[in-house]
A and B are shown apart, each in its own frame.
Chain A
């Protein structure tokens, strides 16, 4: 009979971290949480400890020479996860500063052994491990002593069945450091600074025995502690009924006449790009799309990435949000990452069981992202669209488009190919008036109208008009009247 060791995985209690770790934290593992000062190591350690520790699975938090314990307790209790009631019940803080100041690793190790033997913890934290290293360097034989120390500590903790975390300040992971070799797990926290923007990132450099998610994962530290944003595709697997949603009937746009142009409405699960110049009516079309959903009993979500959200939001959308039929995702925090935006969207979609999503606008969305992510905006957008499509929702995105009459563009981001459908709006000049036209450029795998139709906007929203069949050169912005007009074409457009 084969009976391999079973590695239990602990649920860390840090949102998103279990996904990044590849399914939780291996029990009895010997881990290093590393990074530069201020990157969130101690906060992560405390959050893990308060989530994992119970009276049956107690924790010891050893402080060495770093942040004074009183300061640490003072600041950490500002987080919601800090539970004062747990102290001396399931969580025990022990200072090793007196031992560490003597500069003898043996003495520090002996103290740890004594305390572990006395209290039998299932979780052990040593903060900061770096100060143990520095203290050891003062006695003249830095690395030999350290390697022995780490080996012994690792062996002790494993045989004591304790999941262990060493917290250490390291500025570079390329240092040849025996700790990196000995540890089972290496969680590296970083702060990426670009101009005035700072983005926190986490990398699981190693975690023995399980498939972690490679690469850098953004995280944020808020009142509740750390929140990690794993890649959208992992955090949001395609639900079984998502494909069924694609078979569902088409969604009505809420603009009479436009559904016919789309070939009977927008196919469920599609992504639609509405491109047009400033003021052309993109947001009004988006609002109509959400309102039509609400009328049909479908909830929606709007991601509004505008500089002045209250000023730019229409009364219709504000009412839908107030009634609870539409959820709102705003860029309240600075320096967003694409994974965080997807996380916020998916949380709102799940909360409401939403079927319609509006992103208004892509330009605002790009500005809301931290500069470090803007270079990858196109790729990020593709991930976003894929994830939302995977969730079975139908997405309408608006895109600001500079009106150029020398070429026909649909998006400044080259995003046209990512979307399943495109509607373009443009201004034209007729009889010294600025008039609007709209066309359906693309509906993937579906017949659709090729008409360029005039439309107007009034208090009731968008009103689709007829084709300007007696004009030509509309896309040039300054159409001219045809000399010889076929009377039939004035009333019925070609299909």
Chain B
């Protein structure tokens, strides 16, 4: 199994959008993953640490999907998933899936650049688990 689950995440979100899910439903999937990330990392790096990583990820991903940009000024103190969910839900389902996948991919790449792919994979195993366990069989007609 690859430690970088980006392809599986993108495929899973695109399948969700393709099956007719609304942008709000896709947004909720992305937010659920972010909550898992928050749960996994907050004990280790603190709330502000996770918020800073997500803020940076959104900033980088916004170069492709400008609407992902976190408009909250200053240093993020907490992870504001409601705002993220709202931004995703305002797009089309396909755009929300693409933007959400890019955000999560950016987050993974950012963390791996800091602490290595191995440790990143280990720490975020629970967050990625839903994507990695959704085999093509589940979605085939």
Contacts and interface: CB of A to CB of B under 8 A. Distances in A.
Q: Chain A CB within 10 Å — which of B42, B46, B111, B116 has the most?
A: B46
B28 to A, nearest CB: 26
Contacts of A134: none
B46 A97 contact: yes
B124 to A, nearest CB: 11
Interface string B43-70: 1111111000000000000000000000
A139 interface: no
Contacts of B48: 97-98
Interface range on chain B (Cβ under 8 Å from partner): 10 to 19
Contacts of B49: 68-70, 95, 97
Contacts of A69: 44-46, 49
A98 B47 contact: yes
Contact of A74 (B43, B47, B114): B114
A379 interface: no
Interface stretch (A86-94, A238-246, A469-477, A483-491): A86-94
Given A87-B119, A97-B48, A70 B114 contact: yes
Contact of B46 (A74, A92, A95): A95
Nearest to B125: A88
B44 A94 contact: yes
A61 to B, nearest CB: 9
Contact of B119 (A68, A71, A73, A95): A73
Interface range on chain A (Cβ under 8 Å from partner): 10 to 19
Interface string B112-131: 00111011001100000000
A77 interface: yes
Nearest to B126: A88
B120 to A, nearest CB: 10
Given A68-B49, A70-B49, A87-B123, A95 B118 contact: no
Contacts of A70: 45, 49, 111, 114-115
A93 B122 contact: no
Nearest to A99: B46
A382 to B, nearest CB: 48
Nearest to B44: A93
B114 A77 contact: no
A458 to B, nearest CB: 60
Given A68-B45, A74-B116, A77-B115, 6 more contacts: A69-B44, A69-B45, A74-B114, A95-B45, A97-B49, A98-B46
29 contacts: A68-B45, A68-B49, A69-B49, A70-B111, A70-B114, A71-B114, A73-B44, A73-B114, A73-B115, A74-B114, A74-B115, A74-B116, A77-B115, A77-B116, A77-B119, A84-B116, A84-B118, A85-B122, A87-B119, A87-B123, A88-B122, A93-B43, A95-B42, A95-B43, A95-B45, A95-B46, A96-B46, A97-B49, A98-B48
